[in-house]
Amino acid sequence: MIETTAAAGWPSLTELRGRLHRGETTAGELLSACLDRIGALDPLVRAVLAVDPTARAQARESERRIAAGTARPLEGVPVLVKDNIDTAGLATTAGSRLLAGSPPRRDADVVTRLRRTGAVLLGKTNMSEWGNFRSTGATEGWSAVGGQTWNPHVLDRSPGGSSSGSAAAVAAGMAPLALGTETDGSVVVPAALTGVVGVKPALGLLPGRGVVPVSRVQDVVGVLAGTVSDAAGCLAALTGLPPRAPVPVRGLRLGLWRGRRMNQEVLARLDLVADELRLAGVVVVPVELPWEVPPLVDGMDALLAEFRVGLEGYLAARRAPVGSLADLLAGNSRDALELSLFGQDVLERAAGVTAEQVAEAGPKRARARRWARDAVDRVLAEHSLTAVVAPTSEPAWRVDHGAGDPPARNTSTIPALAGLPNLTVPTGFIGALPFGVSVFGPADTFAALAVAEAVEAVCGERRAPAFLPTTG
């Protein structure tokens, strides 16, 4: 049987595959372990929306393939999928009740790839509704379909968003792997807040067709896992590309960016991470990245224009029960639950975008991307750095549905605008709450993973969630 209560939650992906191939466990036993964990803990965390009713049949097929010697890269490994990624016959709602009764007819392209790896599609995870692109007063981790997902370390704290359920489920040991999506921070921030590895790959590494979009030109599908090696193994299986060995630690040159307006606890913990890296032989160089209003405004203007165009294209291709952003706004207005905690002012802004603003979105997107890439490239070249490390986010905040979430304090925006890979590695705790550092800079996802694995080897630290009801 598989034990899922260790600090890392699961044996490594390599070990899981080895046990399956040696006959020490079966795909059905792995699935049962996940289902037992979901049954025991999801009432506390509320991360999993639905279990795929075909999961048992998938596991049996994996067992047959393993016995026949025709196993695929992730054969028999259970994987959860965020609820904005289409799964044929299994509800995909982006958190909205308007999509709940009409499952997609076909899988998203990335799910097609996932099935081809032999993974067992375990089920769907809750998320911040519409990718947290509904309201400036929204609460991350809440959707009308799934309610509030909670942080498994401290149950009144936020799991972050929008890949809330995927991160919380992996942190709680409900599955060894999960897929999420990110436009800006939606993989790396919940990963950091829940104490797991989150990988936002380079733009375009994984296909986006069949994913409910915020922006078709900035969104990416990412991976949540227990370790960098596990995330790299999942991405290698999905892409057919080989993972890289970790880069040598001694002599590695990393920039240390302290972010913007991070609190003193975060900065003190970051200094400890830097000290550990230096003791291991890493050259750590303090750096600054710019924060300029015009390109950031360009990026937001582009998002607003891209959202309506992308969403309506997705709804038409899926033949969804709502066909336009106007239909969505009207449907929400008729549903007391949808608007019970916060409104839809961001959707209303997107609905008001003019044809002229849509035409301007492309040039604005290009300017924002060029600014962000130049900012990262410049700091890497100036100091001969391999990558930048930075605090991913301040620790998880207390959920307050009345007040909404506090202003974001994270470092995801520049790599998101640049389309660069961004990875967060758990590196300890601030009190009872996980703390993670981001690694970004290399344009190649597997090169960034190799740096992140070196960082993890020096100062990575995970703990099993305590499921505390609250903390001071």
Phi, psi of 231 (to 5 degrees): -65, -40
The residue from 186, 393, 412, 438 that is catalytic is 186
Euclidean distance between CA atoms 161 and 170, whole angstroms? 14
Instruction: Give backbone dihedrals phi and psi of 373, rounded to 5 degrees, phi first.
Output: -65, -40
Question: 82, 124, 200, 364: which one is catalytic?
Answer: 82
Is 166 annotated in the active site?
no
Beta bridge partners of 87: 90
Measured torsion, CA atoms of residues 290, 292, 298, 302, in degrees rounded to the nearest 10: 50
Active site residue 186: yes
Q: Which residues, 6+ apart, have CB-to-CB distance to 329 below 8 Å?
A: 344, 347, 348, 351
Distance between the two ends of the chain, CA-based, in angstroms? Answer: 37
Q: Which residue in 396, 393, 376 sits closest to 465, CA to CA?
A: 396
Dist. CA 184–CA 166, nearest whole Å: 16
Residue 106 makes CB contacts below 8 A (sequence gap 6+) with 86, 88, 210
Give the bridge partners for 123, in sequence order.
51, 80
Give the H/E segment covering residue 61: helix 55-68
Q: Are 161 and 193 in contact (CB under 8 A)?
A: no
**Is 31 within 8 Å of 80 (Cβ atoms)?**
no
**Angle at CA 266, nearest 5°, toward 265 and 271?**
100
**Catalytic residue (choose from 62, 128, 162, 229):** 162
Structure tokens at 118: 């032999």
**In one letter, which amino acid is 182?**
E
- How far is CA 214 from its chain centroid? 14
CA distance 200 to 411: 13
E-assigned strands of 104-201? 120-125, 142-143, 147-148, 177-182, 197-200
DSSP state of 355: H
Concerning whether 128 is annotated as a catalytic residue, the answer is: no
Active site residues: 82, 162, 186
